[in-house]
Amino acid sequence: MAKALKINPRDNVAVLLGDIRTGETVDVVTGVEVTHIQARQEIAFGHKIALANLGADQPIIKYGEEIGRARTAIGAGDWIHLHNLYCLRGHEDRAE
């Protein structure tokens, strides 16, 4: 079974510790407990998996901090990457 790490209690994503396939169950280590989530896509090692359903423009939290916002609705178990995340930090002079 694949594993992922939830770094901060506030996080709504976890980081994968190995490659996973669509439909695979992922053990998410969250401090002293382990939860389970089913991957909805193939996701590579080191990438993020959503731990909850997120609506468009909702914050994506990693390390306990907002790292961006959802471009569209994201389902629990979805891969989170540049195709569905945006961040204007450092680009405040640009319009999204």
Task: Decide: helix, strand or coil at residue 45.
Answer: coil
Q: What's the pTM value of the predicted model, to 2 decimals?
A: 0.88
User: In whole angstroms, what is the distance from residue 90 CA to residue 38 CA?
Assistant: 34
Q: Which among 35, 43, 39, 79 has a CA at the least distance from the CA of 60?
A: 79
Residue type, 32: V
Task: Give the chain's domains with CATH numbers.
Answer: 2-86 (2.30.130.110)
pLDDT digits (tens, 9 = 90+) for 8-58: 999 999 999 999 999 999 999 988 889 999 999 999 999 999 999 999 999
